[in-house]
Amino acid sequence: MKIGFIGLGVMGSRMTKRLLNANYEVVIYNRTKEKMAPFLNLGAEAAESIEDLSEKADIVCTCLSMPEDVEEVYEVVFQHAKAGTICVDFTTVGLDTSQQMSEQASKKGIHFLDAPISGGPEGAEAGTLTIMVGGDKQTFEKVLPAFQVLGENVQHLGKSGMGSVAKLMNQYLVAVHSLAASEAMVVGTALGLQSEQLYDILKSSYGDSRMLRRHMEHYVLDRQFAPGGAVKYVHKDVRLANVLMEQAGLSEFTGNIAQDAFNIAIRSGHADEDMSAVIKPLEKQSDTIVKK
């Protein structure tokens, strides 16, 4: 089967490379055409357009930025893909978007799986991603060998949209834990503790978290904020997760505070920096810097 891959960003580029290295026949398309060049030497075929890719591929994969990007791309894909094509969206979007895409695909005789991913660029490169899949079980099983090239924790979670629900719950924790870890580090440092010593205490205590370790060890203490996952994307994700919170009947939840904090970071000029830069407006408020 020929796999089409649309979106060669931080995650999509690494996933495409793994598929090529596993000897899959891959046709690629990216809005910025220059990003396709390195993959041609690895054996990929360049599509002239989304229409071209949709007509050639048996499986169409997308890894995009925003829900509106998904809607725009699949409007074209559904018009040009042949009946029986399987579409796999790795993008983090809302439950409603995944369900709408599935319904539209079904009307065209096309299969659609929402399959958001977690694990960051390092997981995409190593093939250790978590892949959360919603949609038809038989369709999932057809794509499973390719999923297993990309991830080591691949789970079918039920009907369309359930992959997106699982991913947004993960992103809810990413946002909330990121903010809580930032607050703790800023306050402790502002009140006189040495940042590295405080971090050493926290990471060996019950206050430890994966986000605390990620942010402090790879970004904050070294004051290096090149994005692994940008502030603007975490803001998008927690905003979508908060919609699910309301749908589940919760009226007060910590995600609202996290959404506000990431929004402040965006307004402060940190939208394209790593998500750990949510700490910067807090540092400014407290007139302190968390660093080595």
Model confidence over 186-225: pLDDT tens digits? 999 999 999 999 999 999 999 999 999 999 999 999 999 9
Cβ(258)–Cβ(176) below 8 Å: yes
* Averaged pLDDT for residues 261-284: 98
Beta strands in the chain (DSSP E): 2-6, 25-29, 45-46, 59-62, 86-89, 111-114, 117-118, 129-133, 151-156
What integer pLDDT is reported at residue 47 of this predicted model? 97
Residue 228 has pLDDT above 90, yes or no: no
* pLDDT band at residue 44 under the 50/70/90 scheme: very high
Query: Residues 6 or more apart from 106 whose CB is under 8 A from it?
Result: 112
Q: Please list the residues that pair with 151 across neighbouring strands.
A: 129
Q: Which of 48, 54, 52, 2 is nearest to 23 (CA)?
A: 2
* Averaged pLDDT for residues 54-76: 97
Burial status of residue 256 (CB atoms within 10 A of its CB: 0-12, 13-18, 19 or more) = middle
Residue 226 has pLDDT above 90, yes or no: yes
> What is the spatial distance between Cα 237 and Cα 259, in angstroms, rounded to a whole number?
9
Query: Residues 6 or more apart from 80 whose CB is under 8 A from it?
Result: 50, 51, 54, 55
Please state, as a whole number, how many other Cβ atoms lie within 10 Å of the Cβ of residue 149: 15
Give the phi and the psi of residue 115 in degrees, each rounded to 5.
-140, 60
What integer pLDDT is reported at residue 270 of this predicted model? 98
Residue 236 has pLDDT above 90, yes or no: yes
Residue 127 has pLDDT above 90, yes or no: yes
Cβ(39)–Cβ(8) below 8 Å: yes
* Averaged pLDDT for residues 122-127: 96
Amino acid occupying residue 247: Q
Q: Which of 113, 86, 83, 85 is nearest to 98 (CA)?
A: 113
> What is the spatial distance between Cα 243 and Cα 134, in angstroms, rounded to a whole number?
19
The CATH code of domain 2-159 reads 3.40.50.720
Domain boundaries defined on the chain: 2-159, 165-286
Percent residues over pLDDT 90 in the chain: 99
Model confidence over 139-182: pLDDT tens digits? 999 999 999 999 999 999 999 999 999 999 999 999 999 999 99
Cβ(95)–Cβ(161) below 8 Å: yes
Q: Is the pTM of this model over 0.85?
A: yes
Percent residues over pLDDT 70 in the chain: 100
Length of the chain in residues, anyone?
292
* Averaged pLDDT for residues 93-98: 98
Amino acid occupying residue 108: K
The chain-wide mean pLDDT, for the chain, equals 97
* Averaged pLDDT for residues 14-32: 97
> What is the spatial distance between Cα 203 and Cα 182, in angstroms, rounded to a whole number?
13
The CATH code of domain 165-286 reads 1.10.1040.10
Measured over the CA atoms of residue 124, residue 153, residue 150 and residue 70, the dihedral's sign is negative
Just list the catalytic residues: 167
What integer pLDDT is reported at residue 268 of this predicted model? 98
Find tokens 């690895």 and name the residue: 42
